[in-house]
Amino acid sequence: MSSEPAVRPEGDRSGVPGEAAGERAAFSSPPRLTFLAAPTRLAQESRARLVARYGDTPLDEADAVVALGGDGFMLETLHRLIGRSLPVYGMNCGSVGFLMNAYEEDDLPERVRRAQAATLHPLRMHAETMTGAREEALAFNEVSLLRQQRQAAKIRIYVDGRERLSELICDGVLISTPAGSTAYNLSAHGPIVPLSANLLPLTPISAFRPRRWRGALLPSTAEVVFEVLEPEKRPVAAVADFTEVRNVVMVAVAEDRRIAMHLLFDPDQPLSERIIAEQFTV
């Protein structure tokens, strides 16, 4: 690795808030790259061309991972790499590609070397089911509670041990990370949150009562507990990214800052800019 001093990636909130946001990560020159691809034909063909051109470093020896696919594959890659200090540079071979850079084969090592890092901390979900089973999962986008059958769910909400909503009648409710605030949270009419805001959006999904409750913005240190009311009559599933736990009676969610994953973005389109720009998209 380079002897260049480490820099604080975009979104890292240690020290002075927002200081050195969007700085470059330090790499060897050229960085050693591992290529991972979604199972789609486009992603696999793209990987074959890139490997033929730049080689493919074993994961244990790489400086960075290049992920080829869409946002769903990026989430899978982040989960796969938990426990490894490897930044991920995504190139869009999917549909939306909000977490990805534009696909371009030329000068890829230099693009990775010049990229800016955004730090993501996942939400950790602890769920208890009707049978007493306990499940745990991580989410880089959101944790959502969803009704399983025709009847609306009834959910009580606690924040940091204090009851905040005695009964929410709804199709569901979610809590998202700042990076995930532009995904399901936005579709449910929740607010978009900048990476540096230290906030987690809590958003109802098709709330029936209280009809005018639109959710809340919580500090990133908050612990949220969802208690499912009438679970036999109104069963609820909890979903953390792509991990689903059915028939839950209690779900606790908090940000896990012990885990930090670094996404790399081209300097002209860092993640912080994408999140701001999304608020003006019509």
Domain extents in the chain: 33-121+260-278, 123-255
Of the pLDDT bands very low, low, confident and very high (cuts 50, 70, 90), residue 24 is low
Q: Residue 29 above 90 pLDDT? A: no
The count of other CB atoms within 10 Å of the CB of residue 80 is 14
33-121+260-278 against 123-255: fold identical: no
Mean pLDDT, residues 68-84 taken together: 95
C-alpha separations of 86 from 32, 45, 108, 199 in Å: 11, 24, 17, 25
123-255 CATH pick, 2.60.200.30, 3.40.50.261, 1.20.1330.10, 3.80.30.20: 2.60.200.30
Q: Residue 4 above 70 pLDDT? A: no
Q: What is the pLDDT of residues 10-21, one digit of tens each?
A: 434 333 223 234
Give bridge partners of residue 134 from the DSSP assignment. 128
3-class secondary structure, 41 = helix
Mean pLDDT, residues 124-138 taken together: 98
Of the pLDDT bands very low, low, confident and very high (cuts 50, 70, 90), residue 195 is confident
Mean pLDDT, residues 143-160 taken together: 97
Catalytic entry in 71, 106, 241, 268? 71
Read off the tokens for 93: 């071979």
Return mean pLDDT, the chain: 90
Mean pLDDT, residues 180-201 taken together: 93
Q: What is the pLDDT of residues 80-113, one digit of tens each?
A: 999 998 999 999 999 888 999 999 999 999 999 9
**Is 71 an annotated catalytic residue?**
yes
Of the pLDDT bands very low, low, confident and very high (cuts 50, 70, 90), residue 163 is very high
Fold (topology level) of 33-121+260-278: Rossmann fold (3.40.50)
Say which residue, 160 or 3, is predicted with more confidence: 160
Mean pLDDT, residues 158-178 taken together: 97
Spatial CB neighbours of 137, under 8 Å, sequence gap ≥ 6: 124, 125, 127, 240, 241, 243, 245
Q: Residue 185 above 80 pLDDT? A: yes
pTM of structure: 0.86
**pLDDT computed for residue 28 by the predictor:** 64
**pLDDT computed for residue 196 by the predictor:** 85
How many Å apart are CA 205 and CA 202, to the nearest integer? 10
